[in-house]
Each structure stands twice: as C-alpha cells, then as structure tokens.
C-alpha cells in the first residue's frame, strides 16, 4: 500500500512523526510532500532533525502568500506531482492548514481516497481560516480519524457518519513518545535559568490576536501584569507584526523573556515546568492538559472544548487574564480526554484495512 502525506506546518510535522513511524511498522510505503508553508529552520527543519520523521520526498517551497494564491499553487504542484507517478492508495492530511485544504481538494479532483487526521474539530467561527479548511476537508474525506467523542459528534451533526473512527489524539502519542528524550536532551530550562512553576509560557499566533495592533499590544501588556516572568517563544508571523507595528518595546520588559520558536523537545520541557500556559494555539491547549498544567486561552472560543469543560482551560481576554489566573483552582480530576497514546497505530491499521 502506498500513501502520500501532505504536510506544511509545525504542528503537522509533530503529528506526522508518530504516524509515519506507525506506517513504516505496518509495512506501508509513505511519500511525504512538504508544501513549504512553514519554511524557516526553527519552524520546519528542526522537527525533521529531532523527531522520527523521514525527510520529505518533495519540497514545494510555497509560502508567504495570501490564502488563495498559496492554496492554489499548492494544489497545482501537488496535482502535477501525483500525475507524474503511480497514484497512491490514499492521500493523508492533518489538521486545518492551507496545506491540508490543498491536499484534500487535489485528492477529491483526482478521485484518490482521502484520510483526515484530527477530523471533526470545530470552533464554529468561520472567520478563522482554519475552520473553513477543517469543514471542507472533513466533507471530502473517506476516512476521518477523530481525536475525541466531541469531534465525532460534530461530524455527525454535519451528516458525516461513514468512515469516522474515534482513535484518540496523535499529540498524546507524540508526548508519550518524546517526553523521555526531552528530559534527557533539552537544556532549555538551564539556558534561560528557569525554575519549575516560577514562569508562565505564552504563545500567540492566531490572526485574530496578531493582526490588530491594539489587541496585540493589550496582550503584551497583560503579560506585564503577571506575578512571574513570561517565556514567550515568538512565532515568525507574530514577530513580524510586533516589528512592523512598533511594539518592540514590550519585548524589552523584564517580565517578558522573548525567545525564538523552540524545538518540540524544548517545548515539552517548558510546558511541563511552567506555572501555567497562556496561548491561542490549538495544540498547546491539549499539551498543557495532558501535561497537567493550567491553560488560559486568549480567544473567544476553542475547538478543544473538553479542556474547558473539565476546568483546566479558561478562555480569557487580555483584560481578564490576570484575574483568571489569580482565581484559578486546580480541578480535582483530569480525566483521560485524548486516548491512550495508540492513535497512530490505530490509524495505520485502519488504513491497511
Ligand atoms: N511548538 C513548538 N515550538 C514552539 C511553539 C510550539 O514545538 O516554539 C509545538 C507545540 O508544542 C505543539 C505545536 O507546536 O505541538 C503547536 O503548533 P502551533 O501552535 O504552531 O499550531 P496550532 O496547534 O495552533 O495549529
């Protein structure tokens, strides 16, 4: 069996690393196409170096374009690559980026079965580019690997029943796979002289937070009011927005430890040791939960609603962050929400079947 996997963005490299490993173990041939959506070494190469992810067979180098141009060019090149070779049995895509959408549309046009990993997620906010990508991809997929019962429910509400499998979350697999390696090899805590529970970890990159100068400055200002310093690995898009809108002075405050994006292994160490996470990332909300850290999500809604329902994740605004942290009490329970860490094996078995 042959599978073509389309990847392009940081979280997809992390998710694919555990699935690729499971595919090899199941005897499946995998061809990886990297669209280039995330391209610099700290957003891409570092994950291929640190994790069990084979180098891509093809690199399309498509990035830094508006949504239409980016998705269109990706489609054109993916289609032409696939037509040059024997068509695969499946195309596999992850999550909700433009690379996901491009892969899904090409699969549909070429009548190649499509598998969607992390299917059924919904924020119900169509202003988010990711939400549109998720909805379209789910409606084109023949195999939908849902991470949670809520994701299955969302698919069913949209009339999608066939091909849906609740397998758990591959990010749970990734944490289990890489946690020990992170403890053995990462020196990030020593490098920045960080002590457990004496710093916050923040990441911000969603357009709703970065593309409005007032909002972005309010977020940076809110970090300033916290009781411990904030380690802030800055996404390149956020860094560019901070630069172009003249907000650089916030990064010079003592309260913010601004650092470049870190490797996944370093990230696991930061997430495990911090007092709490402040983020607008999808993946980091889940990782905080799995690692037992409180999370404060700088958004109006989240597609990982179960973390909010169990009390470990709170939706906040810049103005409410401080109070939310001060009033937070650790919930008594942390039920298993994301499976047992065997999602990748289940996915490989289901693809073979
Ligand atoms: N991540 C990382 N280094 C960083 C920031 C994030 O390795 O500097 C990892 C993080 O641990 C998670 C994933 O990247 O596994 C989340 O990616 P991101 O926040 O970019 O995307 P989202 O999950 O919001 O789609």
Predicted confidence (pLDDT) per residue in 217-237, tens digit: 999 999 999 999 999 999 999
Query: What average pLDDT does this structure show over 37-60?
Result: 95
pLDDT at position 254 over 90: no
Whether 302 is covered by a domain: the verdict is: yes
CA-nearest residue, atom 24 of ligand 1? 281
| Atom 25 of ligand 1, nearest CA residue | 282
The structure tokens 């988010």 sit at: 128
Burial of residue 331, with CB atoms counted within 10 A of its CB: 0-12 exposed, 13-18 middle, 19 or more buried = exposed
Print the domain residue range for 16: 2-169+339-352
Q: How far is the CA of 245 from the centre of ligand 1 (A)?
A: 24
Please report whether residue 239 resides in a domain: yes
On whether both 60 and 91 belong to a single domain, the answer is yes
Domain presence at residue 298? yes
**Domain shared by 83 and 229, yes or no:** no
Q: Are residues 189 and 299 in the same domain?
A: yes
Q: What is the pLDDT of residue 85?
A: 83
Structure tokens at 226: 């916290």
Q: Is pLDDT of 188 > 90?
A: yes
Q: What is the pLDDT of residues 263-284, one digit of tens each?
A: 999 999 999 999 999 999 999 9
Give the pLDDT confidence score for residue 284 in this predicted structure. 98
247 in the same domain as 151:
no
Examine the domain organization and report whether 119 and 192 are in the same domain.
no
Residues 151 and 231 in one domain: no
pLDDT tier, 86 (very low <50, low <70, confident <90, very high otherwise): confident
Report the C-alpha gap between 168 and 147 in whole angstroms: 4
Claim to verify: residue 135 and residue 192 sit in the same structural domain: no
Q: Which residues pair with 323 in a beta bridge?
A: none
Residue 130 CA: nearest ligand 1 atom is 25
Cα of 285 from ligand 1 centre, angstroms: 10
For residue 308, being part of any structural domain is answered with: yes
224 in any annotated domain = yes
- Check which CATH number belongs to the domain holding 208 and give it: 3.40.50.2000
Q: Name the active-site residue from 34, 116, 205, 314.
A: 205
Q: Which residue has the tokens 């549909």?
A: 108
User: Kind and range of the H or E element at 236?
Assistant: helix 236-244
Task: List the residue whose alpha carbon is closest to atom 19 of ligand 1.
Answer: 281
Per-residue pLDDT at 253 exceeds 90? no
> In this structure, are 138 and 280 located in the same domain?
no
**Residue 288: pLDDT band by 50, 70, 90 thresholds?**
very high
Write the residue with the smallest CA distance to atom 1 of ligand 1.
264
- Is the domain of 125 the same as that of 250? no
Number of structural domains the chain divides into: 2
Q: CA 52 to CA 73: how far, in whole Å? A: 28
Given a contact cutoff of 8 angstroms between Cβ atoms, the answer to whether 39 and 65 are in contact is no
Q: Are 344 and 21 spatial neighbours (Cβ–Cβ below 8 Å)?
A: yes
Q: What's the CA gap between 15 and 218, in Å, rounded? A: 32
205 in catalytic set: yes
92 alpha carbon to ligand 1 midpoint, in Å? 20
Q: How far is the CA of 13 from the centre of ligand 1 (A)?
A: 10
The minimum-distance atom of ligand 1 relative to the CA of 206 is 24
Q: Are 196 and 306 within one domain?
A: yes
pTM: 0.97
- Tabulate helix, strand, coil % of the chain (nearest 5): 45, 15, 40
Closest CA to 110 of 119, 102, 121: 102
Q: Which tokens hold the place of 106?
A: 């090409």
* CA of 109 relative to ligand 1 center, distance in Å: 31
Domain-located, residue 273: yes
pLDDT tens column, 90-101: 999 999 999 999
According to DSSP, the β-strands at 256-259 and 230-233 are parallel
pLDDT in tens, 11-37: 999 999 999 999 999 999 999 999 999
In a domain, 116, yes or no: yes
Pocket of ligand 1 (CB under 6 A): 10-11, 14, 203, 205, 233, 261-262, 264, 267, 281-284, 287
pLDDT score of 249 more than 90: yes
Ligand 1 atom 9: the closest Cα is on which residue?
264
Residue with tokens 């990508």: 133
* Domain annotation covers residue 104: yes
User: Does 185 share its domain with 313?
Assistant: yes
* Residues 196 and 84 occupy one common structural domain: no
């Amino acid at each position: 069996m042959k599978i073509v996997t389309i990847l392009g963005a940081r979280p997809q490299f992390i998710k694919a690393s555990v699935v690729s490993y499971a595919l090899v173990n199941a005897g499946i041939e995998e061809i990886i196409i990297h669209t280039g959506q995330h391209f610099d070494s700290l957003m891409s190469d570092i994950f291929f170096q640190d994790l069990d992810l084979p180098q891509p067979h093809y690199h399309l180098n498509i990035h830094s374009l508006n949504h239409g141009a980016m998705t269109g060019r990706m489609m054109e090149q993916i289609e032409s690559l696939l037509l040059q070779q024997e068509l695969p049995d499946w195309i596999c895509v992850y999550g909700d980026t433009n690379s996901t959408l491009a892969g899904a549309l090409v699969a549909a046009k070429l009548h190649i079965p499509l598998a969607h990993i992390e299917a059924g997620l919904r924020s119900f906010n169509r202003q988010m580019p990711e939400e549109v990508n998720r909805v379209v991809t789910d409606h084109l997929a023949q195999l939908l690997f849902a991470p949670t019962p809520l994701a299955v429910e969302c698919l069913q509400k949209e009339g999608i029943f066939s091909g849906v499998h609740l397998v758990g979350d591959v990010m749970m697999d990734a944490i289990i796979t890489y946690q020990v390696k992170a403890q053995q090899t990462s020196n990030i805590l020593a490098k920045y002289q960080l002590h457990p529970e004496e710093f916050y970890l923040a990441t911000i990159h969603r357009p709703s937070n970065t593309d409005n100068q007032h909002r972005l400055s309010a977020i940076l200002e809110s970090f300033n009011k916290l009781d411990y310093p904030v380690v802030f690995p800055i996404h390149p898009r956020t860094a560019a927005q901070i630069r172009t809108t003249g907000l650089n002075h916030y990064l010079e405050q003592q309260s913010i430890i601004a650092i470049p994006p870190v490797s996944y292994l370093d990230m696991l160490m930061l997430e495990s040791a911090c007092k709490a996470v402040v983020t607008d990332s999808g993946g980091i909300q889940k990782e905080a939960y799995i690692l037992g850290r409180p999370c404060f999500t700088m958004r109006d809604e989240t597609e990982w609603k179960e973390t909010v329902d169990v009390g470990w994740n709170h939706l906040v605004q810049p103005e409410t962050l401080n109070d939310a942290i001060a009033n937070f009490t650790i919930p008594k329970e942390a039920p298993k929400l994301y499976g047992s860490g065997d999602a990748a094996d289940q996915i490989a078995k289901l693809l073979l079947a």
